[in-house]
Structure formats: structure tokens, C-alpha cells
Amino acid sequence: MDAVQHVFKGTFIHSTTRCDLEIIENHMLGTDRVGKILFFEDAQIQSRLSQKWGFDESNIQALGNNEFFMPGMIDTHIHAPQYTFIGIGMERPLLEWLEHTTFPTEDTFCDVELARNMYNTVVYDRVKPIITPRFAISCSERLLNKLGKLAEKHDLHIQSHISESPAEIKEVRRLFPDYNNYTEVYDRNKLLTNKTVMAHGCYLTNEELCVFRERGAAISHCPNSNISLCSGHLDVRNALNHRVKMGLGTDVAGGYSISLLDAIRKAIETSKIIFMERSKSERDNNETQNKQQENMKPDEVNEDTQNGPMKTENNHNVLSYKEAFWLATLGGSEALGIDHITGNFKVGKEFDALIINPEAKDSPFEVNSHVSKEEMLQRFLYLGDDRNIKSVYVAGICVVPFPSNT
């Protein structure tokens, strides 16, 4: 066991691409002394693996029958100082919420000791410097310009907010009349790069999404916040069709939940709401056109509108649970530019993982012998909570439960 730190055996579930969810049973995964994945192989070759890596049966940590590993979930957008007022004052829309609740609380963080304590509560490892203009409204053009240059000079990550709410966009238009759109405000000031993550983007046009795609900039989709602050809905399908990098964010405290499981559920539900709204407006349009056509002569009738009002049923293209799982794991790591380090169980990446136990004491959902692993994962994503999360590993180190508590 010189080179090997841990050897795990059991079922592993991870994404390899947006649509490819792999459920890998009876596998063995070994980590090295710095928490990287050394091997990930079929347990049928256990004796060969144990010879090669120098471990024996007693070193193997085997999962229970219905337990499985999944990659740690990645929150691509959260405000550490806002954790103090999570779940409070959610009745206001974005700009009023900022003025009334957020800014006064954040002002108290000029007390460095207070700030340090809060950041230690919320922020974990892997912290890197990141250029963070709050959003265009709170910056002058000169500041944006200087920040863009600073990011370029030091090759830094960049994060901000974009096109979150209609009132915000209106204000940006007023403050930056020389720019064609919100995206251009960041882009012309070098703040839209392949190291940029912009939160929300609910109202980005297709033209703006194309600029995101060209620059390699990512969107952090924060559905809880978008609903809680009545900001709007991101059309996640459209953004994915534009091949924009994307992950999920809690946006605490614009979003009231710290849970990525909540973000997964709300991302799926938002996509369904958009689908229903679109179907309704298509039906309404068809009805209007049908009424108009009733008054037309036969040779004026438009062929495209003759397929009946329910044609959208055939185009049921809502976000699948597999895609939402990908967004919460590999998609998030791609958005943050850390997919070479984390996001799934590829050899060479760090071992960031959760052990999920669907049969945990007080589990919020039930499983029986007829439930497949795939169905178990779906139930966990829709119904599970931290009672089902038996362990958390970050870079090969068990952080939940803390070793001292076991």
C-alpha cells in the first residue's frame, strides 16, 4: 500500500458527456497519497490489481449492496457573505433586494474578523483569486476596463452577473448607452473569456449566447434564485443548443437553498415551465392563425399552420435528470475550467466523491429489491437529502463524517 491511499469497491455513477450517464457496477477505484485516482477497473481483475498496486483484501473498502459513489456536486455560484441572511427577505425583486437586504449586510464585512469567520464556514479548498465585478450596474466603464486588463495580465478567472432581471437590463442600457447589449459591456472590456463564469443569463439573446460560445465563457444557471427573486427563467435547452459551457449555482442568498440537489430539481422544473409556456403560446398562435384562416380564401392558407395545435407534444425536449446530474458535476467542472481536476471518476483526476446510501436510517424515500440502480439514482436526485449522503471525499480525504467523529 505504498503508492495507494484508498481502495474502494462497488457501484460508481458518473457522467462522461452531457447525455452519457455511466452506471458502473462491481468496480474498484484506488487513490494515491495526494488524492488522485490511480486506477478504476473491473473488480474481476482484483487479484491482478492487488499485485500491481500492493494492497490486500483487508485494505478494500467495499460499499453496501445498494450504495453507490457519485462525483461531488459543484456549486458554480454562491455568495459567502450572504449566508448570514439565507432564507430571509425574499419578497423583493432583485434590485430592491440588493438595496434593502444585501448591501447593508455585506457592509458589515468591512470587519475583517467577521469576514474571515464567515468565509471559513462557507468556502472550502481550491480557492483561487477571481476578478469579480459585482455586475455592470455597480461598476464604471473605467473600472470594468481596468479589471479586464488585470485579468488578462495575470490570466485570472472572472465572475459576475449578467441579464438576470428586466429592471437590471434596463438600468444597464441606461448606464451604458454606447454598447449594443449587456454581453458587449463585459466583452469589450475583456471580461468575457474562457475563464469567465457569468451567473443567470435569463434574458441573453441568441446573438449574445453565440458570443459566449465564441469566447468559451460559461453560464452559472441559478434556478432557485431566478424564481425566488422573480428574475426570470433561463432557457437551459437553448443555451445548451448554443453549446455554451454551463453549471448549476445556488446563488445563496438570492437562492434560499445551499443544496445542489435543490438546484438540480429547480433546473428540471424551470425547463418544464419554459416548455409549457412555449407550448401554450404556440397553441395560442395557432388558434389565432386558424381564426384568421377561417376568414381567408383557400389559396391564401399557410401550409405551416395546418398541423394542428398539439404538434409541440412531439417536441418534448425538457432537461432530463441525466443532463441535470451532468450540470451538477462534470458540466460545473467544465464551466469553472477544472474538469481536468474533478467532475467524474477518470484516472488522474482527484477523488471528489459522495457515497450515497438509499437505505439510510430515516431516508426520505424507499427502495426495494425491484428498484434498479438507475431508478435509485433518480429517487435520490428527486427525493434524497443529506441523510442519504454517507460520506464525502474531497481530493481523496474523507471530510464527512469527520474522521474524529467516527
Q: Which residues would be at the binding site for ligand GUN (CB under 6 A)?
A: 79, 94, 98, 102, 134-135, 161, 164, 225, 251, 254
- If one asks whether residue 204 binds Fe ion (CB under 5 A), the answer comes out as no
Closer CB to ligand GUN, 94 or 151, in the complex = 94
> What's the min distance (Å) between Cβ of 73 and ligand GUN?
20
187 binds, among Fe ion, ligand GUN, none (CB under 5 to 8 A by kind): none
Are 217 and 243 spatial neighbours (Cβ–Cβ below 8 Å)? no
φ, ψ of residue 354 in degrees (nearest 5): -115, 140
Closer CB to ligand GUN, 135 or 326, in the complex = 135
Residue nearest to Fe ion according to CB distances in the complex: 251
172 binds, among ligand GUN, Fe ion, none (CB under 5 to 8 A by kind): none
Residue nearest to ligand GUN according to CB distances in the complex: 254
Q: How far apart are CA 29 and CA 355, in angstroms?
A: 13
Q: Is 358 helix (H, G, I), strand (E, B) or coil?
A: coil
Q: Residue 365 is placed in which grid cell?
A: 424515500
Judged on CB neighbours under 10 Å (0-12, 13-18, 19+), 352 is buried
Beta-strand pair 4-15/21-32: antiparallel
Q: Which segment (58-66, 84-92, 250-258, 389-397) binds Fe ion by CB under 5 A?
A: 250-258
Judged on CB neighbours under 10 Å (0-12, 13-18, 19+), 280 is exposed
Cis peptide before 401 (omega within 30 of 0): yes
Are 234 and 170 spatial neighbours (Cβ–Cβ below 8 Å)? no
- If one asks whether residue 75 binds Fe ion (CB under 5 A), the answer comes out as no
Q: Which segment (180-188, 203-211, 248-256, 318-326) binds Fe ion by CB under 5 A?
A: 248-256
63 binds, among Fe ion, ligand GUN, none (CB under 5 to 8 A by kind): none
190 binds, among Fe ion, ligand GUN, none (CB under 5 to 8 A by kind): none
All residues at 6 or more sequence positions from 155 whose CB lies less than 8 Å from its CB, including other chains? 195
> What's the min distance (Å) between Cβ of 251 and ligand GUN?
5
Residue 213 CB coordination number (10 Å): 14
Closer CB to Fe ion, 52 or 92, in the complex = 92
All residues at 6 or more sequence positions from 406 whose CB lies less than 8 Å from its CB, including other chains? none
37 binds, among ligand GUN, Fe ion, none (CB under 5 to 8 A by kind): none
Closer CB to Fe ion, 115 or 341, in the complex = 115
Q: Which segment (110-118, 243-251, 326-334, 394-402) binds Fe ion by CB under 5 A?
A: 243-251
Q: How far apart are CA 78 and CA 149, in angstroms?
A: 25
Provide the 8-state DSSP code for 64.
Answer: P
> What's the min distance (Å) between Cβ of 89 and ligand GUN?
12
> What's the min distance (Å) between Cβ of 81 and ligand GUN?
9
Closer CB to ligand GUN, 10 or 255, in the complex = 255
- DSSP characters for 294-333? HTS-GGG--GGG-S-TTGGGGG--PPPHHHHHHIIIIIHH
> What's the min distance (Å) between Cβ of 245 and ligand GUN?
20
> What's the min distance (Å) between Cβ of 192 and ligand GUN?
17
> What type of residue is 196?
T
What are the residues facing 198 on neighbouring strands?
Answer: 160, 219
Type and span of the H or E element at 70? strand 68-71
Are 85 and 101 spatial neighbours (Cβ–Cβ below 8 Å)? yes
Closer CB to Fe ion, 168 or 251, in the complex = 251
> What's the min distance (Å) between Cβ of 164 and ligand GUN?
5
Provide the 8-state DSSP code for 218.
Answer: E
| Size, binding site for Fe ion by CB under 5 A | 2
Closer CB to ligand GUN, 6 or 161, in the complex = 161
Provide the 8-state DSSP code for 72.
Answer: P
Closer CB to Fe ion, 28 or 199, in the complex = 199
Q: How far apart are CA 82 and CA 379, in angstroms?
A: 31
Closer CB to Fe ion, 13 or 199, in the complex = 199
Identified binder of Fe ion from the candidate list 199, 234, 327, 354, rule CB under 5 A: 199
Closer CB to ligand GUN, 132 or 194, in the complex = 132
Identified binder of Fe ion from the candidate list 187, 251, 334, 352, rule CB under 5 A: 251
Which residues contact Fe ion by CB under 5 A?
199, 251
